[in-house]
Amino acid sequence: MVQDQALAKRDPNALTMEEIKNYVAPLATREEAYIFLRFCQAQGLNPFLNDAYLLKYDAKARAAIVIGIQALLKRAARNPQYQGYLSGVLVSNQGEVARRFGSFLYPGDQLMGGWATVRRMDWPVPLEITVALGEYNKRQAQWQEKPATMIEKVALAQGLRRAFPEEMESLFMAAGDVEIEVGEP
């Protein structure tokens, strides 16, 4: 009975270490799952809404906490100075460098990087960010399958972090032996 009452009173959105180990990152150690759990609780992140990911592709490797781009966009949107963003990819096509909106590549495009523009009402000019593909491509599954989408997200994340450091700073502090990154897995 006491157990049933405790379950009934449990926050239905509360995450447990067992759920992390079973559904989020089966290869994670108990320590990594605990750090991820506490990090998500402290930051108000929900891994089931893609706010954060605990990635571990090999039992011997360190786990990585990856902050989803949606979590950054939600935090920016809470700031009354936020006016929106534009983002896309940088490509080379027949020797010409072009900025494309979004992550669509045309035939002949060679992906070079990503860009983002973030606007704040209290800044006279928007913040412009460009990032090079070679600096961020980790050759993991998503980077192999969707490099344009991934580099666009990196550029946008960089822009949001610089435009709203107060809202984003605690998302990128070191968490013990777990590496914290931004982007999608």
Between 60-69, 93-102, 174-183, the lowest mean confidence (pLDDT) is in 174-183
Q: Looking at residues 5-9, what average pLDDT do you find?
A: 41
pTM: 0.81
Which DSSP letter does residue 26 get? Answer: T
What is the pLDDT, as a whole number, of residue 58? 87
Between 25-29, 169-173, 179-183, the lowest mean confidence (pLDDT) is in 179-183
Do residues 72 and 182 touch, judged by C-beta distance below 8 A? yes
What is the pLDDT, as a whole number, of residue 61? 87
What is the pLDDT, as a whole number, of residue 121? 97
Q: Which residue has the higher pLDDT, 23 or 130?
A: 130
How does strand 64-67 pair with strand 52-55?
antiparallel
Do residues 150 and 184 touch, judged by C-beta distance below 8 A? yes
Q: How confident is the model at residue 10 (pLDDT cuts 50, 70, 90)?
A: very low
Do residues 15 and 41 touch, judged by C-beta distance below 8 A? yes
